Chains A and B, each alone.
Chain A
Amino acid sequence: MRIARFASGICALALVLSSGAGIVVRAEAAPSASAAELKDAASKAPSTATLAAGDPGGALTGTISDVPVGDSKAGLTLGDVANQVGQNKIGINFTWTLVCGFLVMFMQAGFAMVEAGLCRVKNANHTYMMNFFVYGCGLFAYWIIGFAIQMGGAAGNGNLGGLQPLASEHTVSLFGHTWGLFGQSGMFLTGHSYDVGVMVIFLFQMVFMDTALTIVTGACAERWKFLTFAVSSVLMGAFTYPLFANWAWGGGWLSQLGTNLGLGKGYCDFAGSGVVHAVGGITALAVALIIGPRIGKFNRDGSSNVILGHDMSAVLIGCFILAFGWFGFNPGSTLGASAAGNLRIGSIAVNTMLAGCTGTFGALLYMWSLRGKPDASMSGNGLLAGLVAITAPSGFVSPISSAIIGFIAGVLVCLSVSFVENRLKVDDPVGAISVHGTCGIWGVISVGLFADGTSNYGGSWNGVTGSVTGLFYGDASQLVAQLVGVTTLIGFVFSFSFALNWVLDIFIGQRVSAETEIAGLDLPEMGQLGYPEFVFVPEPSHLVATPQVAVA
């Protein structure tokens, strides 16, 4: 009886155990469908023996075998594949941004040729050297402090992995809102900013900054003391440019006009008509006003004399180098070629080409029709004017709008050159103030007019949902934001640059002596002629007469 009861208890226990009630039994999980598919695909990848035979068609190279496996015991998983997709997106964007940055860097050569070509042969070495050394001055200043001021608070860019180390923006509370003023992270690219994404954005932003700096050398050529040029350029790269660039691109207050005050998408400047070109052109105006005109430029009655450049071939080839580099300037400003609307890079490149083309037509037709000749230097400046003007709107407008913007810029640059020289009595040997200042401002304004709302860079711009749209497509508030930016450029940037360079004039002196200027800057300043074997043609007397009144 006892044995029977014991046996029935055992049977009951066995029954409970077999039903799984009350006891958790760990069993082997069935493999998911995706894991099975991955395993199957991996097994079909070309073997080492197959690859050893060579792959002339490329069909066998780049397969599932090339996806890194996180856990060799587990084999290839969906997580591994997803990680590789993320790496690919960032890798494509890194490569695109860097290569475009390399193109923009090459524009330094274009600027050098344009400026030197428009100057006299006795100043060739000095003009080339200013464009050469400005690269070093700017890069140095930007590395030690400028980049931190501009981009120190720019974290959040999904195209380049987030840029999370750049998360320190100094802000101020005003009128019930928080406004960014300058960044505080990234000096010397040390600490947290020693980051792969930060390196990419540093290179790209640095070459833009240097474009702004080199613009000033053109307006002040043939009389700017090399020492003062160097100090001025360092300070511009350290403070002037980065401050405005932070306000527009680094999370600063201009970009926040949309989120804080509902003004469109805030100040919008896709690739830098304002940030780069207008800052450069307006600073050029400030320094040119301090430095004064070249000897012999103006007569006693206020009329001006033409001072011819020495090499038109350098000017026009330089313009083409600049146009080539602009394919990095504008399309590269997407900071990516994958996801977030970045496939618009083709449209941006075409917009850039068209504006340059119609800018050339605008200037050439103006000069030919009204002055009788298709002037080469103004035609080159017309190309540049169109390119400068399209820089801000290039990511937001249609090809037709681009053509219109460029054509207007081409005519505008001719009018502006005449106005600056004959009305303002400012001597600008290369037209930098008009090409970059005037047409840069036109570019900023044209965003507020022509942006058509078809772009879609991740669904928002400057933190405001939607696409950038201008007045002609229904949003007048965007134009207001652009005009705020224009006033900041003319009011603040000019004043800041003028004050800075006024101080330098007091301490160092901006201008070379009259004796040096008449002899040519190459020998006194650089110690060597630009073309030592040339025989110089004597200049007209009004260009070499020592002024009656010259002061120390």
Chain B
Amino acid sequence: MAATTSQGKTFTTFVASLTVSAAGLAFVATGIGKVALVLGIIGLAAALWGFLKIKPAEGKVPVNKQPAVLKLAALALALGGWLIVIVGLNLSASVGGRMTTTVIGLVITLSGVIGLMPIAASKNAIWKA
């Protein structure tokens, strides 16, 4: 089973709710804006619930579950390296000092994104079976 009417209806709910939420946010200073925002968020939650409900009916996918801990560690490295760059800009006022901390942060970020994350994504890869 692939595309279905259930998918279409749930996607329609998602799009409509997102529009109402955004309209509510745009006019959040008014009473009707607040109501629209709340209704929109409820609609989005309903759409997510709808997606979750139809997902099992869509057949088996050729992807094994990969270790979440490794993925989270990779994301932590990626974000951590970026934060080192941000903080490092304010630790030193010299171009050389800022270049050093930036390069260090970039290397750490890269180790997360192209080092650890691909390992995490293919640890239980289906082609290894």
Known: A483-B103, A511-B63, A551-B61. A516 touches B127 (CB 8 A): no
- Name the interface residues of A498-530: CB closer than 8 Å to any CB of B: 498-499, 502, 507-509, 511-517, 521, 524-527
Known: A483-B106, A509-B55, A526-B3. A491 touches B60 (CB 8 A): no
CB distance from B110 to the nearest CB of A (A): 6
Complex contacts, B56 vs chain A, CB 8 Å: 552
**Is the beta-carbon distance between B62 and A517 smaller than 8 angstroms?**
yes
Report the bound CA distance from A423 to B122 in whole Å: 11
Complex contacts, A276 vs chain B, CB 8 Å: none
Option from A227, A263, A425, A550 in Cβ contact (under 8 Å) with B62: A550
Report the bound CA distance from A300 to B103 in whole Å: 37
A299 in the interface, Cβ–Cβ < 8 Å?
yes
Report the bound CA distance from A231 to B122 in whole Å: 25
**Is the beta-carbon distance between A263 and B60 smaller than 8 angstroms?**
no
A77 in the interface, Cβ–Cβ < 8 Å?
no
Q: Which residue of A lies closest to B103 (CB)?
A: A483
Report the bound CA distance from A508 to B54 in whole Å: 8
A535 in the interface, Cβ–Cβ < 8 Å?
no
**Is the beta-carbon distance between A513 and B58 smaller than 8 angstroms?**
yes
- Name the interface residues of B22-68: CB closer than 8 Å to any CB of A: 22-23, 25-26, 48, 51-52, 55-56, 58-65
The secondary-structure label for the interface of chain A is helix
A-binding residues in B (CB < 8 A): 1-3, 7, 10-11, 14-15, 18-19, 22-23, 25-26, 48, 51-52, 55-56, 58-65, 71, 75, 78-79, 81-83, 85, 89-90, 95, 98-99, 102-103, 105-106, 109-110, 112-114, 117-118, 121-122, 125-129
Complex contacts, B65 vs chain A, CB 8 Å: 551
A234 in the interface, Cβ–Cβ < 8 Å?
yes
What 10 A-B pairs have minimum CB-CB distances, sorted nearest first?
A513-B59, A491-B82, A524-B2, A187-B26, A144-B22, A491-B109, A550-B60, A298-B127, A289-B121, A424-B118
Complex contacts, A551 vs chain B, CB 8 Å: 60-61, 63-65
Q: List 16 A-B contacts (CB under 8 A).
A: A141-B18, A144-B19, A144-B22, A145-B22, A231-B14, A289-B117, A295-B62, A300-B128, A480-B98, A490-B110, A491-B112, A498-B71, A499-B75, A511-B61, A513-B1, A524-B3
Q: Which residue of A lies closest to B89 (CB)?
A: A261
Q: Which residue of A lies closest to B77 (CB)?
A: A491
Known: A227-B7, A525-B2. A425 touches B103 (CB 8 A): no
A549 in the interface, Cβ–Cβ < 8 Å?
yes
- Name the interface residues of A443-487: CB closer than 8 Å to any CB of B: 476-477, 479-480, 483-484, 486-487
Complex contacts, A225 vs chain B, CB 8 Å: 2, 58
**Is the beta-carbon distance between B60 and A486 smaller than 8 angstroms?**
no
Q: Which residue of A lies closest to B80 (CB)?
A: A491
Q: Which residue of A lies closest to B109 (CB)?
A: A491
**Is the beta-carbon distance between B51 and A483 smaller than 8 angstroms?**
no
